Amino acid sequence: MDVTKQEEIDKLMITIDGTDDKSRLGANAILGVSLAVARCAAATLKKPLYSYLGNKKALPIPVSNFINGGKHAGSQLKIQELLVIPQGTKNFSQSTQMLAETYVCLKEILSAKYGKSAINVGDEGGFVPSINKAGDGLNLLCKAIEEAGYGRNLKLGIDAAASELYNWKQQQYNVEGKNFLNREDLIDYYLNLIKTYPIIYLEDPFDQDDFESFKILTQKSKIQIVGDDLLVTNLNRINLAIREKLCNSLLLKVNQIGTLTEAAAAAKLAMKNGWKVTISHRSGETNDSFIADMAVGFGLEQIKLGAPCRGERVAKFNRLLRIEEELKNKEKYLTDF
């Protein structure tokens, strides 16, 4: 088949598979072919991958994981990720420099306060200090940001991954060793964190099927409420969330849905309805940097790429730095969103 016919090839694989969840051929096998087709088409047309994927030229804002908890680490911290997000920077290069320097400051702070074991890293390169409260981690991030001199430009984010914290039998969430017997308590917990710290991003604050809680928090807060497990890059779930106003941002994971065509449709649907879209790596990541090109080609506002640490995370930073340089040399460069 003609590799430039991406949609036709993806649809054929879905038809051959014939299942709702791509269980016959396997979603990861389908995805591997889908992304390889796009790379082959770009090479055939002698275009950079990002240029082949779209005509957007803005670099995304990096969303970087600095402290790991939950399933991604062996600490007592229930919250899965504490994030650092640049704002108001001149370009991706400056954002990367700020993150890298702040990460080093955090490493020194953690080593001095908790010992060498605190600077071990989790799945996504974030540190794993011996803490059990999100507030303690956020305080450490604020201290590192101030010491690095970037208090005006670096904000905070949380990925609660709350589906892992919910007990369906008892219908309660376990956060910081406490059982929240009703959604109001947990909503108040998040609102207090948002009020206390410069948090601009909150991902999966509730279980993936706790629609009412998502809806209430989205109404009460003015920050980015991001759906990952809630949406699973699925058009039906995204349409439901748009209709019910469950969140205001999509976490785009290509392997959740299985083909580039379906991922593109999910991103377009979200952006059409005024949502932000954050393309994301996975905890079990490789050195492949496809999502970096995809972020630029699709014109996505943010990219979640882990800490500036470990080769499979740094690969995305490096690819975006190279893309930025290419665009600058072609005099078509635009700054971050």
Identify the pLDDT of residue 65.
96
Integer CA distances (angstroms), 143 to 95, 124, 197, in order: 18, 21, 12
DSSP 8-state assignment for residue 66: E
Q: Is 207 helix (H, G, I), strand (E, B) or coil?
A: coil
Where would I find the H helices in the chain?
6-17, 27-44, 49-53, 92-114, 134-148, 183-196, 211-220, 235-244, 254-257, 260-272, 290-298, 311-329
User: Mind listing the pLDDT tens digit for each residue in 135-148?
Assistant: 999 999 999 999 99
User: Mind listing the pLDDT tens digit for each residue in 42-63?
Assistant: 999 999 999 999 978 789 999 9
CA distance 106 to 142: 9
User: Mind listing the pLDDT tens digit for each residue in 80-123?
Assistant: 999 999 999 999 999 999 999 999 999 999 999 999 999 999 88
Q: What is the mean pLDDT of residues 278-292?
A: 92
Q: What is the mean pLDDT of residues 176-187?
A: 82
Say whether pLDDT at 325 is over 60.
Answer: yes
Q: Are 84 and 102 in contact (CB under 8 A)?
A: yes
Q: Residue 333: pLDDT band by 50, 70, 90 thresholds?
A: very low
Q: Are 247 and 237 in contact (CB under 8 A)?
A: no
Indicate the class that CATH gives domain 49-329: alpha beta
Position 237: which residue type?
Answer: R
Identify the pLDDT of residue 72.
63
173 has which bridge partners?
Answer: 166, 180
Identify the pLDDT of residue 32.
95
Give which of 325, 286, 322 is closest to 305, Cα–Cα: 286
Q: Are 298 and 275 in contact (CB under 8 A)?
A: no
Longest pairwise C-alpha distance within the chain = 59
Q: Calculate the CA 78 to chain-centre distance.
A: 18
CA dihedral 139, 142, 148, 152 (to 10 degrees): -170
Integer CA distances (angstroms), 200 to 5, 130, 169, 192, 324, in order: 39, 25, 32, 13, 25
pTM (2 d.p.)? 0.94
Domain map (residue ranges) of the chain = 6-44, 49-329
Catalytic residue among 22, 81, 124, 285: 124
Give which of 92, 98, 100 is closest to 327, Cα–Cα: 92
253 belongs to the catalytic site: yes
CA distance 39 to 256: 20
User: Mind listing the pLDDT tens digit for each residue in 71-84?
Assistant: 766 678 999 999 99
Q: Is 304 exposed, middle or buried (0-12, 13-18, 19+ CB in 10 A)?
A: buried
Q: At a CB cut-off of 8 Å and minimum separation 6, what does 184 contact?
A: none
Mean pLDDT of the chain, nearest integer:
93
Catalytic residue among 22, 155, 253, 304: 253
CA distance 48 to 28: 24
125: left (phi over 0), alpha (psi -120 to 50) or beta: left
Q: Is 89 exposed, middle or buried (0-12, 13-18, 19+ CB in 10 A)?
A: buried
Position 264: which residue type?
Answer: A
